[in-house]
Chain A
Amino acid sequence: DIQMTQSPSSLSASVGDRVTITCQASQDISNYLNWYQQKPGKAPKLLIYDASNLETGVPSRFSGSGSGTDFTFTISSLQPEDIATYYCQQYDNLPPLFGGGTKVEIK
Chain B
Amino acid sequence: EVQLVESGGGLVKPGGSLRLSCAASGFTFSSYSMNWVRQAPGKGLEWVSSISSSSSYIYYADSVKGRFTISRDNAKNSLYLQMNSLRAEDTAVYYCARWADDRPSPFDYWGQGTLVTVSS
Residue of B at shortest CB range from A96?
B47
Tell whether, in the assembled complex, residue A101 and residue B44 are in contact, meaning their CB atoms are under 8 Å apart: yes
Complexed CA–CA distance, A87 and B46 (Å): 11
Pairs A–B under 8 Å by Cβ, sample size 22: A32-B104, A34-B107, A36-B107, A38-B45, A43-B95, A43-B111, A43-B112, A44-B45, A44-B107, A46-B107, A46-B108, A49-B100, A87-B44, A89-B106, A91-B104, A94-B104, A96-B47, A96-B50, A96-B104, A97-B47, A99-B44, A101-B45
Chain B interfacial positions (CB closer than 8 Å to A): 37, 44-47, 50, 59, 61-62, 95, 100, 104-108, 110-113
> What number of residue pairs across chains A and B have CB atoms under 8 A from each other?
53
* A55 interface residue per 8 A CB criterion: yes
* Contact A100 to B44, CB < 8 A, known contacts A46-B108, A91-B104: yes
Residue of B nearest to A6 (CB): B44
